[in-house]
């Protein structure tokens, strides 16, 4: 096993924490959407976050890393949602701009990782590809816009 750098371990921990926060954030936004279809789609984004966090968890155990508690992260995610007003379309447009930057960050994490961790980290990177594919399809009005997220939840790949 190649030796992981502190930067890698710190970044891995932070990104894991952000996924757990994200899960609570997306569920909190879903809760306030009155349209059942929009709510279902937002819940699916949350499920994609859950999947990504669970995929990475074994790496945290492997390196004995101690992320913040799920409760603290969930509270933080809910607060982020509470501080972010806006409807479904507002969030799609906002994330259409923001999410591609996360791909760069996840790829940078892969690049600093020991080779044996890369397959797991690709599951993390792919969750962002799946979310972006959903957003692009949804903004184009495609009927099966959630297909990329469904595929991800079934395979762990984008």
b/e per residue 43-82 (b: at least 16 CB within 10 A): bbbbbbbbbbbebbbebbeeeeeebeeeeebbebbbeebe
Judge whether 55 and 123 are in contact, CB under 8 Å.
yes
Q: CB of 1: closest distance to Fe ion in angstroms?
A: 27
Which residue's CB comes closest to Fe ion? 22
Site for Fe ion in 31-50 (CB under 5 A): 49
- Nearest distance, CB of residue 3 and Fe ion, angstroms: 27
Residue 42 contacts residue 33 (beta carbons within 8 Å): yes
| Position 156 contacts Fe ion (CB under 5 A) | no
* Token output for 28: 């909190």
CA distance 156 to 95: 21
Judged by CB under 5 A, the stretch of 15-23, 27-35, 83-91, 109-117 that binds Fe ion is: 15-23
Among 12, 22, 24, 88, contact with Fe ion (rule: CB under 5 A): 22
**Closest separation between CB of residue 30 and Fe ion, Å?**
15
Which region among 21-29, 34-42, 92-100, 106-114 touches Fe ion (by CB under 5 A)?
21-29
The site for Fe ion (CB under 5 A) is made up of 19, 22, 49
């Amino acid at each position: 096993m190649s030796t992981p750098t502190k930067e890698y371990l710190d970044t891995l921990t932070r990104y894991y924490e952000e996924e757990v926060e994200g899960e609570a954030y997306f569920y909190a936004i879903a809760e306030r959407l009155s349209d059942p279809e929009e709510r279902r789609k937002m819940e699916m984004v949350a499920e994609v976050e859950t999947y990504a966090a669970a995929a990475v968890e074994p790496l945290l155990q492997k390196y004995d890393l101690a992320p913040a508690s799920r409760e603290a992260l969930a509270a933080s995610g809910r607060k982020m949602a509470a501080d972010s007003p806006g409807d479904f379309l507002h969030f799609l447009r906002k994330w259409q701009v923001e999410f591609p930057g996360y791909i760069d960050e996840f790829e940078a994490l892969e690049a600093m990782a020991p080779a044996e961790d890369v397959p797991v980290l690709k599951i993390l990177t792919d969750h962002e590809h799946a979310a972006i594919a959903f957003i692009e399809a949804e903004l184009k009005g495609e009927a099966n816009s959630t297909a990329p997220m469904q595929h991800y939840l079934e395979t762990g790949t984008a």
